[in-house]
Structure 1
Amino acid sequence: MRLNTLKSKITVLTVSFTLLLAILVASFSFFMFRSFALQSQITSTEFNLQFIGAKARQSMIALDSLVRWVTTNSQITTYLETDGVDVALATYDRVKEEVMNNLAQQYVNRIIVTDLQHTKLIHTGQQMAGSRPVTVSNVSTVLPAVFVEDTTWSSITDDPFLLTDSQVLPIRRI
């Protein structure tokens, strides 16, 4: 084939231009698709993180409301401050009902309510069967008799009463 003819020059020029145009369109399409895919992934990740954060916040609010309820409930206060044990079973049933109806019940393995001297005790929760018994004599190993009021969240520690390895977030309120 001879490149000296006008027809061959026009053909080579047309093929070259078409090839260059195809490469430019393909490159532009690839970079636009990549940009849109990256933006979509960022938006999706942001939404998922916001959703997880809202769920965690909702669970912590439910847990905090349960702790506040236990702290301020008059039936529990009456049980802990009086010498009689007449209201012990009714108080236990009420605490168990509140734990089971709370939105954070799936996270509450156990809740222990006791007075400062550890002479009265209410123990309920999800992990009752798979844990060591909690009594007024062994609760002092976890909750010392000297109590310093701390209404902040504590650190996550090993659950001393559970028979298997698991962690717990101890919350102490007075």
Structure 2
Amino acid sequence: MSPQREKSNLNRLDILRQSYRLMAEHSWDSISVTTLEKHISQTRGAIFYFNKNKNDLFINMIDELFFPVFQLSQSQKEKYRSCSAKLFFATYRTAFERVLDDLRDNYGFLNPSRNLLNIISQAQKHYPDFTQKIKASLTMEIDFVNQIAGAKNRFHLCGDNLFVQSAGQILIDSLS
């Protein structure tokens, strides 16, 4: 990859990451392009060079920053397939826990539960079929976890219980 192409890709990722951080703290509807320019130190031209419009920027943030953390990667699946049951149960993080960790570790949020709830509520409004994609991702992960953990420990994870428990804990944490 040429140095110019690499710099362009880094600039695009920087725009996405800084916009994602801003969106996680505020309402996307209330964030103007001028506000984006000021807070992310990028020009309108740079923002729209990589995104057709503000809605396209939102979709790109969710597709490239939220879902890759929310969904188990192939390398994570391989790691879990090859580990012992004890290691699996000691290291497995739910989809919601992975996003909370990402928001805390990579974006510096002290109470990432609030930010996660904000992201989810805004994505339901601005991202077509977000709820269906979340449900499909959770179903695939629950099937994977049942396959791995069940084979190792006669364990079965109930998706509805996991979702309700995770969502409930996120809500409680967001209030503190």
TM-score of the superposed pair, with normalisation by structure 2? 0.30
Q: From the CA coordinates, give the structure whose radius of gyration is larger.
A: 1
**Greater helix fraction, Structure 1 or Structure 2:** 2
**Greater strand fraction, Structure 1 or Structure 2:** 1
